[in-house]
Structure 1
Amino acid sequence: MEYPAEANCFLVEHAVVIRDSYRQLLLKELIPDVQSDRQFAKQLFYAPFAVVSHDTASDPIFNYANLKALELFELSWEDFTRLPSRLSAEAVNQAKRDQVLATVSEKGYIDHYEGVRISSTGKRFLIKNTVIWNLADKNSRYKGQAAWFDQWVFL
Structure 2
Amino acid sequence: MSRRTDTDFFQLLTDSYLRIVGKPLVPPDVPAYAAMEWIYHHAPFGLLAHDTSEDPRFVYGNRQAQLIFGYNWEELIALPSRLSAAAPERIEREKFLRQVEKDGYVSDYRGERITKEGRRFWISDVTVWQLVDEDHVLHGQAALIPYIGSAQLQRT
Judge same fold: TM > 0.5, yes or no: yes
Residue of 93, 102, 123 corresponding to 2:98: 102
1:68 corresponds to 2:68: no
Q: Give the Å deviation of 1:138.
A: 2.7
User: Offset of 1:12 from its aligned partner?
Assistant: 2.1
Task: Give the structure-1-normalised TM-score.
Answer: 0.90
Q: Give secondary structure in 2 for the equivalent of 1:71.
A: helix
Q: Which amino acid counterpart does residue 109 of structure 1 have in structure 2? A: Y
**Equivalent position to 1:18, from 13, 19, 39:** 13
In the other structure, the counterpart of 2:113 is 117
Tell me how many residue pairs correspond in the alignment: 149
Give every structure 1 segment of 4 or more consecutive aligned residues whose post-TM-superposition deviation is greater than 3 Å.
Answer: none
Aligned to 2:130: 134
> Could you say what secondary structure the match of 2:27 adopts?
coil
How well do the aligned residues superpose, as a CA RMSD in angstroms? Answer: 1.4
Q: Which residues of structure 2 form unaligned runs of 5+?
A: none
On the 8 A contact 2:50/2:81 being kept in 1, the answer is yes
Residues in 2 aligned to 1:86 and 1:106: alpha-carbon distance in whole angstroms: 19
Q: What's the CA shift for 1:65?
A: 0.1
The residue identity in structure 1 corresponding to 2:34 is Q
CA distance in 2, matches of 1:27, 1:19: 11
The separation in 2 between residues aligned to 1:131 and 1:94, in whole angstroms, is: 18
Which of 138, 141, 144 aligns to 1:145? It is 141
Match of 1:83, SS state, is coil
Alignment correspondent of 1:7:
none
- Choose from 52, 70, 74 the match for 1:78: 74
2-structure distance, mates of 1:54, 1:3: 11
Aligned: 1:2 with 2:33 = no
Unpaired runs of at least 5, structure 1? 5-9
Distance in 1 (CA, whole Å) between partners of 2:79 and 2:121 is 18
Shift of 1:31: 1.6
The separation in 2 between residues aligned to 1:48 and 1:133, in whole angstroms, is: 18
Q: Quick one: distance in 2 between partners of 1:111 and 1:132?
A: 6
TM-score normalized by the length of structure 2: 0.90
